[in-house]
Structure 1
Amino acid sequence: MALRLEVAESIAKLPADAWDALAAGMPLLSHAFLSAFETSNSVGAATGWQPCFLLLYDDTQLIGAMPLYVKYHSYGEYVFDWAWAEAYERNGLSYYPKLVSAIPFTPITSSRLLANHPDTKALIVNALSQIMRQNKMSSAHVLFPDADSAEWFKQAGWMQRQGVQFRWQNLDYSDFDEFLSQLSHDKRKKIRQERKKVTDSGVICLQVKGGEITPEQWNFFYQCYENTYREHRSTPYLTREFFTTIGNSMPQNILLILAYLDEKPIAAALNIYDEITLYGRYWGSMQYVPNLHFELCYYQAQIFCITEKIEFFEGGAQGEHKLARGFKARPTCSFHQIANPDFAAAIEDFVVQESKGLAAYANELDERAPFKSKD
């Protein structure tokens, strides 16, 4: 094969069909989703996320790829390495820039080695290490890889770090009540009480698929999205244009859930979905109503999955409160390569100790599962 490796500074300039053929239908890895970050200026050199996608060609055919960014900070990654950066700084060294393979601002497990042939995947793993060292970067990080991608980095000797997320599974429920029937009495009772309080407050929830979302509804959603960041004294990662772009380019993958009170919208939650999985992404509220967050972000999404026969609902990063809503803890991972051998050894010791604590935490979460016990 006449193989050629390239680094692309923009996915927006790549043919969408060639990229999507490797992304295998995953909406959050699609050309439409990743290019929307760039065209909306949500990523780019000024944001600290500089695209540098790895591409492998056989002559003119794209046969392998990796979503990749040069990072000048650690925001928007959800695998926290601030302590590592501080250690570098204390020793007079620069931790940034670094290389990160991830979907920006999206802690979702998916492929990081977009290729069909094993040899191609091995070449991409090797190329990532070479690029890190040739450009004298401190490190390279692969966040939330799926099992297949993880195996390749494990075989290459990369440092593995463990994590935990929460996922709900639709066991072919006929309706929401059947799902509730699988929970313990206390959890079932609590959910019904939470939902009743929302209904009694006068709130009405509306599920709107992407192609039916009006400009006014998009504008209101972005108000909510901005407000969430303001309440946490932070700045939104994504621009209004990002949501306009994905609303136009991938409406078949978008679900917006709105809450109305006295015929006025007061809260919104945005989800991305395909035939198998719904991904909870962004939420915000302009008016406090008790338990509205649970109704909009969990129960309405679960109802949608049951209606549309979608098997999984990925709840995203953090949130032990998801357990009481029928989610189960599941492991995630990331892989890291540190150029400086002394720091590599110190960080590996940290990761080993961290994994022991995480294993105990995972066992504790399993013991708190909300489902009926089975004798």
Structure 2
Amino acid sequence: MDQGDTITINVLTSLDQIAATDWDACACPEDTDGRPHDPFTTYRFLKALEDSGSVGQGTGWDPRYLVAEMNGLPIAVTPLFAKGHSQGEYIFDHNWAHALEQAGGNYYPKLQIAVPFTPATGRRFLTRPGYEAAGMSALVQGAVQFGANNELSSLHITFCTEDEAIAGEQMGLLRRTSQQFHWVNDDYADFDAFLASLSSRKRKNIRKERARAQNFGGDIDILTGDQIQPHHWDAFWRFYQDTGSRKWGTPYLTRVFFDIAQEVLRDDIALVMCSRDGQAVAGALNFIGRDALYGRYWGCVEDHPCLHFEACYYQAIDFAIAQGLDRVEAGAQGEHKLARGYLPVATHSLHWLANPGFSEAVARYLEAERAAVDEDIEILTSYGPFRREEREEQE
């Protein structure tokens, strides 16, 4: 980049306004020789959300994608949304909204750089190789300026990478840490090798759970690519509706999203289907990255003991080992994952708050919260299921 080069920021209200090749040259340049590191920031995934009506008018997720261009070349992009609520984010700021509104301010609308409904860590400032620093700086400045120009309360960048969190803090953004539970592949040859790394009691418990689940009276299959057929989505939609109505009131994704997924995303998907007497009764949806398997949704129309653990956690571990993936990210929350080999890890977000006094108050809160999260991770890790010598090595 020459000193005389200038970067311009464009705001797009639809991915139709940028070529897929330009977006993916920033989001997943590694996709030319294999899978993308992050399947969720690809053009095809974000476009599926948009085309299916899962984001856009009436959803509270209004696209304002930012594109940084240099001499007409897109060098950086980010999925930015104007939001009228805090649903589907998994990094909770409801208390912040309440505090600002109690003080007479308006928290909504706000800005969110995120993959909607997806608590998976990945790059949020998507840059062409060689433009990392300039691209991130331009996008951060552009997003903050957009918020200020439109008199919005705040900007939030959720589930960014640790490197982005450190760089963003140096740019003046507030850094926040949260936690999730991830399973890490220690070059296990198979599931039994993983079990051998656990304490005797935890190993026995997992074997009992797997046996109970697999004796539910049917079959458990994990499907990818062309193995996935349209009728599988008919079944999974029923599961997803049940889970969505219980957890969120209404499902985040529309039925059309799954039809689009069949067309353009099925190679990115590992779909666990549990069937009994020829009928699908439960399932779990995972997305496949270059290094990780990302667990996203689970649902069922019949309750069977331990089938949730098998479909969501143990089948994911089996798949990751077979595919040589480094880890399984099993989604948000869930200390019950600890006993099943998933250890706590820190996740990161960045925040800009327009009101200086409010920003100072939140900064103090975040400092205390980071210390509490670090302590919580340390304590939970000490209660992990691994044999003592294994645990000491991981620490």
Query: Residue 47 of structure 1 aligns to a residue in which SS?
Result: coil
Which aligned pairs between 1:301-340 and structure 2 lie closer than 5 A? 301-340=316-355
Query: Residue 160 of structure 2 aligns to a residue in which SS?
Result: coil
Q: Per-residue displacement from partner, 1:307-356 (whole Å, max 9, x unpaired)?
A: 12122111111011111111111111111111111111222222222223
Partner of residue 159, structure 2 = 144
CA distance in 2, matches of 1:13, 1:223: 34
Match of 2:86 among 68, 74, 89: 74
Partner of residue 40, structure 1 = 52
Query: Residue 27 of structure 1 aligns to a residue in which SS?
Result: coil
1:217 aligns with 2:232: yes
State, as a whole percentage, how many aligned pairs show the same letter: 39
Partner of residue 348, structure 1 = 363
Partner of residue 130, structure 1 = 145
Query: Residue 205 of structure 1 aligns to a residue in which SS?
Result: strand
Which aligned pairs between 1:47-126 and structure 2 lie closer than 5 A? 47-115=59-127, 116=129, 117=131, 118-126=133-141
Q: Per-residue displacement from partner, 1:47-76 (whole Å, max 9, x unpaired)?
A: 000100110112221111111101110000
CA contact (8 A) 1:12 1:39 kept: no
Partner of residue 359, structure 1 = 374
Q: Per-residue displacement from partner, 1:217-272 (whole Å, max 9, x unpaired)?
A: 11100100001122346100000111111221122111110111223211010110
CA distance in 1, matches of 2:116, 2:16: 15
**Letter of the structure 2 residue corresponding to residue 5 of structure 1:** I
**Letter of the structure 2 residue corresponding to residue 123 of structure 1:** A
Which aligned pairs between 1:4-15 and structure 2 lie closer than 5 A? 4-15=8-19
Partner of residue 27, structure 2 = 23
CA distance in 1, matches of 2:16, 2:53: 12
CA contact (8 A) 1:276 1:312 kept: yes
CA distance in 1, matches of 2:120, 2:290: 16
Shift of 1:169: 1.5
Shift of 1:185: 0.6
**Letter of the structure 2 residue corresponding to residue 282 of structure 1:** Y
CA contact (8 A) 1:247 1:254 kept: no
Q: Which consecutive residues of structure 1, in runs of 5 or more, have no partner in the other structure? A: none
Shift of 1:202: 1.6
CA distance in 1, matches of 2:289, 2:96: 36
CA 1:356–1:311 in 2, change beyond 3 Å: closer, same or farther?
closer
Shift of 1:2: 4.6
Judge which range, 230-239 or 212-221, deviates more.
230-239
Query: Residue 28 of structure 1 aligns to a residue in which SS?
Result: coil
Match of 1:292 among 301, 304, 307: 307
Q: Which consecutive residues of structure 2, in runs of 5 or more, have no partner in the other structure? A: 29-35
How many aligned residue pairs are there?
A: 375
CA distance in 2, matches of 1:27, 1:93: 37
| TM-score normalised over the length of structure 2 | 0.92
Query: Residue 108 of structure 2 aligns to a residue in which SS?
Result: coil
CA contact (8 A) 1:224 1:283 kept: yes
**Letter of the structure 2 residue corresponding to residue 347 of structure 1:** V
Query: Residue 325 of structure 2 aligns to a residue in which SS?
Result: coil
CA distance in 2, matches of 1:265, 1:63: 45
CA distance in 1, matches of 2:277, 2:134: 60
What CA RMSD, in Å, does the superposition of the two structures yield over aligned residues? 1.4
Partner of residue 227, structure 1 = 242
Query: Residue 388 of structure 2 aligns to a residue in which SS?
Result: coil
CA contact (8 A) 1:36 1:242 kept: yes
CA distance in 2, matches of 1:41, 1:35: 10
CA contact (8 A) 2:182 2:343 kept: yes
CA distance in 2, matches of 1:61, 1:159: 30
| TM-score normalised over the length of structure 1 | 0.97
Shift of 1:4: 2.0
**Letter of the structure 2 residue corresponding to residue 42 of structure 1:** S
CA contact (8 A) 2:182 2:327 kept: yes
